[in-house]
Structure 1
Amino acid sequence: MTALLEVDGLVKHFVARRSVFGRPTAYVKAVDGVSFAVEAGKTLALVGESGCGKSTVSRLVLRLIEPDAGHVRFEGRDLGTLNAGRLRAFRRDAQLIFQDPYASLNPRMTVAQILTEPLALHDLVPSTRRRERVEELLRLVGLEPRFARRYPHEFSGGQRQRIAIARALAVEPKLIICDEPVSALDVSIRSQILNLLRDLQDRLKLAYIFVSHDLAVVKHIADRVAVMNLGTIVETADAEALFAAPRHPYSRALLSAIPLPKPRARRSRIVLEGELPSALDPPAGCRFHTRCPFVIARCRGEMPQLLADSSGHATACHRTAELPPSESIVPSDGGFSPALEKLVAAFGGVADGARRSGVDQVGTAPPA
C-alpha cells in the first residue's frame, strides 16, 4: 500500500547560543535524521522521553517550522516545494490536536465561532449551512448542539478536547497529528477521548500520528510505533510486535516501566543508570550508549543504522542479534495502570469497544 505520508531524513537544529557578532556557536539537535511513513487509516505512535524530539517532528511534518534538511511527502507531493496557496490547501488535509485543551481554544470566541472559522477560511460550506455543519460536528464528537453558544471556560477539560477534535475534523482532513491529546486529562476522561479517536478513525478513514510518552495508551491505539531517543528513531515496528518483544535496550527500558494492573505480578525491571546526555552535545556513536547496560566499544564510536528485518521490525543497535529475549519485560496481560484498566473495562475497552460501536456510544454517555 502506498503511504499517505513519507518522512525522509528530517533534520532540525535550533540555535542555542550566538557570538557577540551574531554567529551561531551552539545548536540543539532536536531532530537528527528521522524517517518513517504513515498509511491511510492507520496510527503511527511516536514515543520517547520528554525532549527527545517528538513534538518537533510533528510540527516539521505540518511545516509549522521549517526543516534544515530532509523531505516530507504527502500523497507524493514534497511539502518543501509548496507555495503559500498550496500550503494552505495542504493544511486542510492535515490538522493538529494540541496537548492542552485549556490553551488551544480562543477564550473570546464561542464554540460556534471556533468551529466556523476553518469552514470560512477554506470556503467549504456556504454561510447559510454553517450553523447546521457546526451542529453536525458537535454531535460527531459527543456534544450537544446547544453548546455552540457557550465559551471555552464553561466546559470541562474533556469537553474542551472534544471541541478541539471537532475543530480538526471541520475541514475533513486525511491526517491528524495528536500531540499528547490525553495527557492533560483525568484518567476517566482519557478512555472516552481514546474511544472517540478510534471511532472517528474507523468511520472517516483518518490517519493519525499519535505523539505520547504514555505507553499504556499507545499500546491500545497505535498500529505502528516509532521509539525516539535524542532526536533519532532507535526502533520501529508494529505495535503488537514491539510490545511483545522489544529489541532495542532503550525500548526495553521504556516498556519495563509500564505499571502492571496486578500488584503481585513479577517481571524484569530495567533501571537505566548514568546521566541523560544533552541535545546540545550528543555523544558520539550510539546516543544511548552512556546509559545502555549492553554497551561495547563499537557503540561509543559508530552510529548504528536503523535496519529492518523481513517483518518490517527495524532496530538501530549493533547488538540486536546478541541480546537475550525480552518477552518477560511486558506481559501479554499487562500494560495499563490499575485505575485505567478498571475504566477501560467499564467503557468496553479502548480499542475493542471503539471498533464495536460507533460515535453514538460516546455521544450517549454524559459528556466529559
Structure 2
Amino acid sequence: MALLEATDLVKHFPASRNLFGRPRAFVRAVDGVSFHVEAGETLALVGESGCGKSTVSRLVLRLIEPDAGHVRFEGRDLLSFDTNELRAFRRQAQIIFQDPYASLNPRMTVGQILGEPLKLHALAPPERRRARIEDLLRLVGLEPRFARRYPHEFSGGQRQRIAIARALAVEPKLIICDEPVSALDVSIRSQILNLLRDLQDRLGLSYIFVSHDLAVVKHIADRVAVMNLGGIVETAETQALFAAPRHPYSRALLSAIPVAKPRAKGERMILQGELPSALHPPSGCRFHTRCPFAIDRCRVEVPKLITDEKGHATACHRTAELPAASGIVPSDGGFSPALEKLVAAFSLSEEGPAAGGIGITGPSTSL
C-alpha cells in the first residue's frame, strides 16, 4: 500500500465573476492529476511555471480544498477527515516552502518557531522542550545557541535549515519540498540537497519534491512526474526518464538543460508558439499547439496516461512512433560538471571540504 495516493485531483480557481458574484471563468490549475508516493521514496513534480506543481502539493495537504478527486494517506481518505483527524494528519505530513524568510515569523526567535509545533501537538513537556529544540538544530547542522536569534539574523541557507527543522519537529512521514533550493546559491543548494537526502536515509522520510530545475531533480528524486498545463504527461523512474524521455514535452525540457561541455552531442528541441493559457486550455492534448509531432488526433482526443510493464507512463498518442531521444537529449545528460563537483565536495562526510558544512556531526555556521 502506498503512503500517499492521489486520484483524479481537480482544482479550478475563479478568474472572474458576473454581477451576481457567480464565477464565469476559471483557471484550470489542476485537471485530473493522479500519482502515488511510496514510503521512503522521493517523487519529483517538474514542469514550467504555472503548470500546477505547487497547487498539487497544497491539495494533498488540504491547505486548499480540491474540487474533485481523492487523496488517501496510509489507506485513509484524507478528504473525509474532520478537524481533529486533520490536525493529527498534520503531524504526519509537513511542507517546506520556497522562501524561507517569508515562511518564518520574524517576530519569533528560532527557539519559539521550533517550540510552537512541539507545544501544539504535545510532543514534549515544557522541561524537555529546550533540549528537543537543541537536538533539532543539531540535526540540520546548526548550533544550539542559534535558538535565541531571529530569522533576519541568518543567511538564506541557514533559514532554510531552520524551516527543515520546523518540519521535522513533529516527526512526519511525508515532507513536501516546494522549490526548497531555488532561491539559494549553487554551493548552498548542494548542501541543502545532501542534507535532505541524509535526513531521508536516517529517518525514513518520503518527499514530494517540486522543482523546475532538472539537475536538482536528477540528484535527489527516485521517480519523476512531468506536468504540463495542470496534468501529468509522463511518469517514470529518474534514470529511465533522463535516459529515454518519451513525451515530446519531457524531451523539450531535457534538451533545454545547459550543457557545459562544448563537444557534448545534443540537439535543442525548440518549441514553437506561445504557452497556452490555463483559462482557455486547448482541446485534445494540451501540448499539441507547441508539439512538433502533433497530428489531427492530438487536437481532438485527450491522450490517456498509459503505463507499460516497466512502470513508465506516457500520455501521448504517438509514443511508439516518435524518433529515439538520443539525438535530442545531450549524451552526457546535459548537467554541468561544476555542479557535479560541488555536489561531491559538499557531500555528507566528517572529513574533507564538507567538514562543518552540512555534516550532522559538525554544525555549520559558515552559510
- Aligned 8 A contact 2:107 2:150 in 1: yes
Which sections of structure 1, spanning at least 5 residues, go unmatched? none
Tell me the residue number matched to 2:63. 64
337-346 vs 199-208, greater mean Cα deviation: 337-346
Deviation for aligned residue 1:198: 0.1
Deviation for aligned residue 1:330: 3.3
Rounded Cα–Cα distance in structure 1 between residues aligned with 2:250 and 2:366: 36
Residue-by-residue CA offset, 1:199-241 (whole Å, 9 max, x unaligned): 0000000000000000000011000000000000000000010
Tell me the residue number matched to 2:276. 277
Deviation for aligned residue 1:364: 4.9
Tell me the residue number matched to 1:193. 192
- Aligned 8 A contact 1:40 1:206 in 2: yes
Tell me the residue number matched to 1:49. 48
Residue-by-residue CA offset, 1:16-38 (whole Å, 9 max, x unaligned): 01111112110000000000000
Tell me the residue number matched to 2:27. 28
Residue-by-residue CA offset, 1:318-339 (whole Å, 9 max, x unaligned): 0000001112433463343354
Identity %: 80
3-state DSSP of counterpart to 2:359: helix
Deviation for aligned residue 1:93: 0.2
Deviation for aligned residue 1:178: 0.1
* 1:220 and 2:219 aligned: yes
Rounded Cα–Cα distance in structure 2 between residues aligned with 1:215 and 1:63: 27
Tell me the residue number matched to 2:181. 182
- Aligned 8 A contact 1:97 1:164 in 2: yes
- Aligned 8 A contact 2:255 2:330 in 1: no
3-state DSSP of counterpart to 1:33: strand
Rounded Cα–Cα distance in structure 1 between residues aligned with 2:182 and 2:327: 27
Which sections of structure 2, spanning at least 5 residues, go unmatched? none
Rounded Cα–Cα distance in structure 1 between residues aligned with 2:108 and 2:301: 53
Rounded Cα–Cα distance in structure 1 between residues aligned with 2:331 and 2:163: 34
3-state DSSP of counterpart to 1:9: strand
Rounded Cα–Cα distance in structure 2 between residues aligned with 1:263 and 1:340: 16
Rounded Cα–Cα distance in structure 2 between residues aligned with 1:305 and 1:239: 21
* 1:87 and 2:101 aligned: no
TM value normalised by structure 1: 0.95
3-state DSSP of counterpart to 2:226: strand
Residue 150 to residue 98, structure 1, CA distance change in 2 (3 Å): same
Tell me the residue number matched to 2:319. 320
Count of matched residue pairs: 361
Residue-by-residue CA offset, 1:285-331 (whole Å, 9 max, x unaligned): 00000000000000000000000000010000000000011124334
Tell me the residue number matched to 2:12. 13
Deviation for aligned residue 1:141: 0.1
Rounded Cα–Cα distance in structure 1 between residues aligned with 2:359 and 2:49: 35
Q: Aligned-pair RMSD on alpha carbons?
A: 1.7
Tell me the residue number matched to 1:151. 150
Rounded Cα–Cα distance in structure 2 between residues aligned with 1:158 and 1:359: 10
Amino acid across the alignment from 1:208? Y
Tell me the residue number matched to 1:230. 229
Deviation for aligned residue 1:181: 0.1
- Aligned 8 A contact 1:230 1:287 in 2: yes
- Aligned 8 A contact 1:258 1:335 in 2: yes
